[in-house]
A and B are shown apart, each in its own frame.
Chain A
Amino acid sequence: MDSLISDMSTSKSGGISCKDQNRRITWEGCSVLLDINDGDRVLFARLTAGSKIKIGNKNCSLQPLIGCPFGSSFQVEDGKEGPVLSRVLQSTKGNSLQITEESRDNRMLVDNNSAQSLTGEDIDEMRRKGASGDEIVKALIANSATFEKKTAFSQEKYLLKKQKKYAPRVLLRRPFARSICEAYYKKHAERIGFLRVDTLSLLLSLANVSAYSDVLLVDMLDGIVTGAVAERLGGTGYVCNTYCGVTPYPINIVQMFNFNDDISPRIVHSSVAELHSYENGTSPPNDQLEDASTIRSQQNEQILSPSGQNADSMEENEDGNMEIMTDVAASTKVDKGTKAGRKAPVEAIKLWKENGFSSLIIAAPNLDPWGIVKEVLPLLSYSASFAIYHQYLQPLATCMNTLQAEKLAIGLQISEPWLREYQVLPSRTHPHMQMSATGGYILSGTRISGGDQTQTM
């Protein structure tokens, strides 16, 4: 068993290997989340010498981002050979404007277009002469008749608005379960079954995901849960995705995590028939095994070239959406070191059969939870925790009722997470005007040893 594990973790085939999952400096080939203008636009990209992004009407190479710390910001500047992204160092002296209690008010403000004396032509002219975005913003402020009369709060708002337009910022974020889930939830919630980040965090806790866990998963949310679990396992244990039939569910999102060669091989899949087939020491019929391995290669194909599914649908318009850079696909092909989503090794399947999985998470938005639970619950060890996500309450209520009646689990609970963000500013603290009204529901519990127990007293 030990040898099985070390075999898997040493089976590297070139590619970039980063030992530390928790790297804080980018490297060539790493996946990054680019946050443009405070979340107005979010995109995933892989940093290669050739990769480019378009900001406004300018094409910029991502090369300058390689070797920079996550968390750093960039601005578009005019270089000799066209626009370049250059690093903006953050000052440690607070915001450009001091936020204090306000004495001014807006009674003097008149809303007409005469407040700004700089015209569009003036700005174009400045641009031609090579003025930077920051300089344009400064000029706009200097030529605004009303800026001084504005409250500090609206001054800041004005400044931010102009900055976004004339001097857009690119923030380099680490692709972690948190940032990836938030980015999807904000821009393409339907792709991750409307799974909010706090709900995802609860799934991981309620299922007791921890190092050396063997987590059984039904992830139909394109791999967001798979990635989050693998991140928590940090190269120990296994995440085993199971499915009914012959085709594993796609887990494209896993690519956006920077999983190293310790973590990726821990992400495996196995059909529910296979997981059951070693029951009583019997092996699955041969043809079944072969079937499964053909799927595996198809599956890999699919992962390696998401152009069909991903790039097309992900790449979107200028008006602020999430995109996946086409070259994510290209560079993943090069980076053969990362192999997530292989077939579960037979030895592992046998051990799971003997010992049971230690956790179960189900996230299958369009399926009846009980239909899945009745198949996979017996694969868990006694005392193992499980957590089932659903967007709707009723299917979980029905499932809970059945679990209770059949006495298969205890500690059954349906929870609904609630999350509210606040604006916290001197004398202006209040909840955000918009909040997400639903983060879905989770049914959780603990599997218990079943009816085979008789009273011995």
Chain B
Amino acid sequence: MFPFDSSKKLSFSRYISDGDLLIVYERHDNMKAVKVSESGVLQNRFGVFKHSDWIGKPFGSKVFSNKGGFVYLLAPTAELWTLVLSHRTQILYIADISFIVMYLEIVPGCLVLESGTGSGSLTTSLARAIAPSGHVYTFDFHEQRAASAREDFERTGLSNLVTVGVRDIQGVGFPDEFLGRADSVFLDLPQPWLAIPSASKMLKQDGVLCSFSPCIEQAQKSCETLRSDFTDVRTFEVLLHTYEVREGNLRSWQDNDGGSMSLKSCKKRQRSTKGLENASSLTIMARRNGESRGHTGYLTFARLKCTL
């Protein structure tokens, strides 16, 4: 998935070859992960695409179907993966993920513990951050989910950075082999406070824990539990607002003799055909997208106290 292999440094191959995982981009809200195979075909509303036409082209190429429709072929990234993975659970998205990775102080070489694995959306970004020398041990008590996640990490080429375990973390905690070895711990569990005592034993001193919970009562209970072994207990909410941009033709009041009230949108190529007097009123405008996520969850961070 990523050019993590040291043999590929500086000159990782950016040409599509048989067996590559790539992201087929139709539109920003329509993408799909595809594994390239000599004989494979992709069929969508634009027609039929033959994989064999793709091989040898650089990633980032525009490719055409038998009917002349086109898509773009992109190299996978953790962000794209989050957008195309199969949702077996609720997943975390880029705003929370980015903040978590930075606030957990995850850098290459870190040992990170996570539970539950869910659909592996966060895990993929954790793996990117600890590469090439660290490791993520992620646990889910749901056997099938763990197996599917394992298959995904195989597919995305992360399996030597991530180990998926089946375990009831709220019930029995993290395995003893990690005692005092974790740089960071992440919890996305229904009752995180049950896992916190174990997490505190796994962390190195000054190591950071994060717990994600959709409900404030969960965050509240977690904070109460955290206060005995942790300091710097802080709770945040992170969101992203996105903007749409367009070039519009705002007519002047004087030129407008009633009639149409609607804002005229104007595309670039139309500009030249318009009269000069109109060109002056072409404005690039931005506004927040109407639909937006209003809440994902509360992120509670805490730092293990230094007692030695």
* Chain A residues closer than 8 Å to B109, beta-carbon distance: 20-22, 234
Is B186 close to A, CB under 8 A?
no
Q: Residue A418 contacts which of B2, B204, B205, B240 (CB distance < 8 angstroms)?
A: B240
Is B87 close to A, CB under 8 A?
no
Q: Which single residue of chain B is at the shortest CB-CB distance from A93? A: B228
Q: Residue A422 contacts which of B72, B129, B236 (CB distance < 8 angstroms)?
A: B236
Is B285 close to A, CB under 8 A?
yes
Is A265 close to B, CB under 8 A?
no
Q: Please measure, in the bound complex, the distance between the C-alpha atom of A454 and the C-alpha atom of B233, giving whole angstroms.
A: 57
Q: Please measure, in the bound complex, the distance between the C-alpha atom of A398 and the C-alpha atom of B107, giving whole angstroms.
A: 35
Q: Residue B14 contacts which of A356, A422, A424 (CB distance < 8 angstroms)?
A: A356
Distance in Å: Cβ of B54 to nearest Cβ of chain A: 12
- Which DSSP category, helix, strand, loop or mixed, fits chain A's interface? mixed
Q: Which of B35-43, B136-144, B187-195, B219-227 lies at the interface?
A: B219-227
A211:B131 contact, CB within 8 angstroms: yes
Distance in Å: Cβ of B208 to nearest Cβ of chain A: 9
A234 and B107 in contact, given A198-B98, A202-B95 (Cβ under 8 angstroms): yes
* Chain B residues closer than 8 Å to A212, beta-carbon distance: 2-6, 8-10, 12, 132
A197 and B102 in contact, given A234-B109, A351-B10 (Cβ under 8 angstroms): yes
Q: How many residues of B contact A (CB 8 A)?
A: 90
B68:A457 contact, CB within 8 angstroms: yes
B60:A446 contact, CB within 8 angstroms: yes
Q: Please measure, in the bound complex, the distance between the C-alpha atom of A398 and the C-alpha atom of B243, giving whole angstroms.
A: 12
A214:B108 contact, CB within 8 angstroms: no
Q: Please measure, in the bound complex, the distance between the C-alpha atom of A72 and the C-alpha atom of B205, giving whole angstroms.
A: 9
Q: Please measure, in the bound complex, the distance between the C-alpha atom of A426 and the C-alpha atom of B49, giving whole angstroms.
A: 59
Q: Which of A150-158, A289-297, A379-387 lies at the interface?
A: A379-387
Is A210 close to B, CB under 8 A?
yes
* Chain B residues closer than 8 Å to A201, beta-carbon distance: 98-99, 101-103
Q: Residue B59 contacts which of A200, A382, A400 (CB distance < 8 angstroms)?
A: A382
A232:B307 contact, CB within 8 angstroms: no
A448 and B298 in contact, given A204-B102, A351-B10, A397-B245 (Cβ under 8 angstroms): no
What residues of chain A have their CB less than 8 Å away from a CB belonging to chain B? 1, 5, 20-22, 24, 69-73, 89-95, 99, 174, 176-178, 197-198, 200-202, 204-206, 208, 210-214, 231-238, 348, 351, 354-356, 358, 381-385, 393-394, 396-398, 400-401, 404-405, 410-426, 429, 441, 446-449, 453, 455-457
Q: List the 8 closest A-B pairs by CB distance, nearest first.
A: A382-B60, A234-B108, A71-B206, A383-B60, A383-B59, A201-B102, A397-B286, A201-B98
List 19 A-B pairs, Cβ < 8 Å. Answer: A22-B107, A91-B305, A93-B228, A176-B107, A201-B98, A205-B98, A234-B109, A351-B10, A355-B11, A384-B60, A397-B285, A401-B245, A415-B242, A417-B238, A419-B238, A422-B219, A424-B216, A424-B223, A441-B243
